[in-house]
A and B are shown apart, each in its own frame.
Chain A
Amino acid sequence: MKRALSMGLAAIMIAISVSGCGGGGKTTSPESQAVTENSQGAGESQTEGNQAEEAADSNMAEELKVAVIGEPATLDVHMTSAFITQEIGYHILEGLYTIDADYNTVPMLAQDTTVSDDNTHYTIKLRQGVKFHNGKEMTSEDVEASLKRWVEKTSYGAILGKILDKIEVTDSYTVELYLTEPSVVVTTLLAFPNQQGGIYPKESIDAAGEKGIPEEYIIGTGPYKFSEHKPDQYVKLEKFEEYCAREEEPSGHGGRKTANFQQLTFVPVSEDAVRKDGVSTGEYHFGEQISTDMYDLVEMDPNSEPVVIKPWWWPMMVLNKKEGVFADVKARQALLACLDMEECMKAAFGNELFYRIDCSAMFQEQPLYSEGGKEMYNQHDIEKAKALLAETDYNGEPVVWYTTKDYPYMYKIAVVASQQMKDAGFNVDVQVVDWATITQVRNDPSAYNIFSGATTFTPDPGVLPHLDGTWPGWWENEEKDQMIVELNAEADPEKRQKIWDEFQEKWMWGDVPFIKMGDYFLLSTRSKNLKNFDEGPFTFFWNCYLEK
């Protein structure tokens, strides 16, 4: 009798926890339908997914050590676009939406989304029963507080902020966004992993100071929770036992997330050779971003495997348009004219497997790929550069370029490009600092003329953060802003392509706010026994496991 009673209680508890975690009811959003269709259509992949989970269960490891490229300046994902912060943040925080393996927007904390016919009113139903790491249930109050801060602090948020009329909370699980003008990229903005619209509990938002949210308040709903940060030594995350996973099959950042490690440790290792050797010797299980010159060595190594991600990012020079020599568009055009992209990219990436000379802001593999402004890219015309520079007020004052060896390609591009600039008459002063310093310095218009940067894989040109006038470099121009508004309001793919072609030619290459150097593909290295690892451009460590 006792046994029957306890079994009954257990069954009731399981039922409660499942219904609470799942949010109850079927999702009706088109995005989640797409995911379901994808996963059902790929019956084999579902079987593979189940096999992977079974294998993971039998190979549960205590710790996964990841050698990252440097020290995160903060763990608050709203405060910086720095890749290291974002990557750690993927595991701690979740947004309302995210992207799947095919870069489609899919819901994460959102359950269902309704959009008005004129694309100005979004009603977002939240999943119910989702718990934060502090044990509190996520409600619309937390979402409202987080979104308001995200809009205020991040460049993706600022893009939404420009057209956001108000955020309203209808009930504990419903949030409504009212826009001042139509937009088709709202969920894309909220989904994109870089500068993610991560949802914190309201208490964390209230505790935020000038330097961001204190580390003890870095709380999210993700499969791992923040445990410990020893600067320059490690950031440790612990498995969140009460994590409420979605039910859909895993796909990219979307779907079901399973934490297969008790602990995730991110170790800052500034030297890529050390990251590579560390994986080879078993010190780390994953070494991110190593020199592409090491491809053959990794391939020959019996303990590690190369991880090639194509497409990945594109490196760029961001010009300070608020102060200094590059406030003058002629000087920016002079700089563009003198550059030999092939030389820069070859020096930076060596192996031709890892770079591509291409002027398009969107990769060839994406929609809205464009050749607009092709003739202005990769000119290497020193005489033209000299002539354009002569038309400016430039008198040989130092052109300060902040770059970093934390991302070796940025430094190498700076070395080669600065030589080409010198040939054209620029007096270049290359300052090599750590990445955290660049993320601070780039906000001070009096401190620099150029900083090295890179653009992550972006799902839509309408959400490219550096097109916004508030982003460092300060591209303030109402005409181009209007064109972006048009692009983001246009739902017809053909019309969008036309608008973007024109924008890329006239503004991206004509006004030269930043200079794309080319496409590049990433080489990382992983331990051979790290299985079910997703090689997408936003590295994460849920669902993967270590084979014993």
Chain B
Amino acid sequence: MVHLKKMFLKRKSALIGLILVTAIVSAALGAGLLTRFTPDEMNVANRLLAPSSQHLMGTDEFGRDLFSRVLYGARNSLTVAFFIVVAAVGMGLIFGLIAGYYTKADSIIMRIMDGLMAFPGIVLAIAMMGAMGPSMANVIVALGIVYTPRVARVVRSFILTVRESQYIEAARSMGAMDIRILFCHILPNCFSPIVVQASFIFSYAILGEAALSFLGVGVPATLPSWGNILSEGRVYMQIAPWLTVFPGLSIMVTVLGLNMLGDGLRDFLDPRMKK
């Protein structure tokens, strides 16, 4: 913990990243306290109002408060992104462990992973969403599958380097089962690269969800999410630019914060960078 504190003090960009991410997450969680309006509260008479003290980010074409929608949209976007990370890391970890530890499974699993990575991620996700239909669960499944190979490759390559280590040999010679070696001896050592990957996948997931929702195949159009707000606002870009500027800024700030935080964590957790 002391090391982590030192790292944040030493690497100002990581500290800024942490502050940005914390601020966004806090705002999303405390949306109900920060705004007087619910995201679906319509007042058509107040449509397309510019930002003011009453409506900090203005109003949309239905007269809904944009500040409220961006905050509640953050909840949906961050929730979706979080579960995409859980899905991608979960599946990537299992496939990576098996591929890295069992040579025979390696060629099969990694060819499948290569196959998935051969498609541009967003194209693959659009294809899957087209087949499954727009819903939050489907976004998680689609983007979870798209980002799984990234984690699997990192985990596999790490295991390839440690599986021949002496402490693994020692465990094996003492009669430890594969499952014990994998989960008790190898997995804890993969923690650092997984955490770093997870932080980057989080930022990719936010962008991915926004892109899918923007294209109309992500989170259902009736729910607020940053991608949906952007999508609805782009029609009014010339007459009500705030409808695209604020959700766009929110995405940018969150992704920037996550990337800065991820860079800092990578530097902190990678022993070679410490030197």
Contact = CB atoms under 8 A, between A and B. Distances in A.
Interface of A: 271-273, 291, 293-294, 296-297, 342-343, 346-347, 350, 405, 408, 411-412, 415-416, 418-419, 430, 432
Contact of A273 (B42, B48, B221, B235): B235
Contact of A415 (B62, B235, B239): B62
A228 B68 CA distance: 48
A405 B239 contact: no
Interface in B189-224: 216, 220-222
A516 B134 CA distance: 29
Contact of A418 (B48, B222, B234, B237): B222
B61 A419 contact: no
B28 to A, nearest CB: 23
Contacts of B238: 273, 294, 297
B45 interface: yes
B235 A272 contact: yes
A347 B235 contact: no
Given A346-B47, A415-B62, A419-B40, 14 more contacts: A293-B48, A293-B235, A293-B239, A297-B239, A343-B42, A350-B48, A405-B221, A415-B222, A416-B44, A416-B62, A419-B42, A430-B220, A430-B222, A432-B222
B216 A273 contact: no
A337 to B, nearest CB: 19
A161 B179 CA distance: 74
| Nearest 3 interchain pairs by C-beta | A432-B221, A346-B44, A347-B44
Interface in B24-61: 40, 42, 44-45, 47-48, 61
Contacts of B83: none
* Prevailing SS type, chain B contact patch: loop
Contacts of A405: 216, 221
Contact of A350 (B61, B216, B222, B237): B61
Interface centre among B62, B234, B236 (most CB of A within 10 A): B62
A347 B42 CA distance: 9
A415 B221 CA distance: 9
B235 A432 contact: no
A293 B47 CA distance: 11
Nearest to B221: A432
Contacts of A294: 238-239
A314 B236 CA distance: 24
Interface string B228-245: 000000111111000000
17 contacts: A271-B235, A273-B235, A293-B48, A294-B238, A296-B239, A297-B238, A347-B44, A347-B47, A347-B62, A350-B47, A405-B216, A411-B221, A412-B62, A415-B62, A415-B222, A419-B40, A432-B220
Given A350-B61, A411-B221, A273 B234 contact: yes
Contacts of B237: 273
Interface residues of B, number: 20
Contacts of B235: 271-273, 291, 293, 408
B219 to A, nearest CB: 11
A432 B216 contact: yes
B220 to A, nearest CB: 7
Contacts of A293: 48, 61, 235-236, 239
Contacts of A346: 44-45, 47
Contacts of A342: 44
Contacts of B220: 430, 432
A297 B237 CA distance: 12
B61 A347 contact: yes
A499 B205 CA distance: 61
B236 to A, nearest CB: 7
Contacts of A412: 61-62
Contacts of B222: 415, 418, 430, 432
B130 to A, nearest CB: 11
Given A291-B235, A293-B61, A416 B42 contact: yes
Interface centre among A297, A342, A343, A408 (most CB of B within 10 A): A343
A438 to B, nearest CB: 14
A402 B235 CA distance: 21
Contacts of B216: 405, 432
A408 B236 CA distance: 12
A347 B62 CA distance: 5
Contacts of B45: 346
Interface in B224-273: 234-239
Contacts of B61: 293, 347, 350, 412
Nearest to B237: A273
A411 B231 CA distance: 13
Interface string B138-159: 0000000000000000000000
Contacts of A430: 220-222
B101 to A, nearest CB: 45
A273 B239 CA distance: 11
A312 B55 CA distance: 35
B200 to A, nearest CB: 31
Interface centre among B40, B44, B45, B234 (most CB of A within 10 A): B44
A142 B117 CA distance: 56
A483 to B, nearest CB: 36
Contacts of A408: 235
Nearest to A414: B222
A523 to B, nearest CB: 13
Nearest to A420: B42
A344 to B, nearest CB: 8
Contacts of A297: 238-239
A272 B40 CA distance: 24
A170 B234 CA distance: 59
Contacts of A411: 221
Contacts of B48: 293, 350
A479 to B, nearest CB: 38
Nearest to B45: A346
Nearest to B40: A419
A411 B220 CA distance: 12
Interface string B107-133: 000000000000000000000000000
A26 B44 CA distance: 57
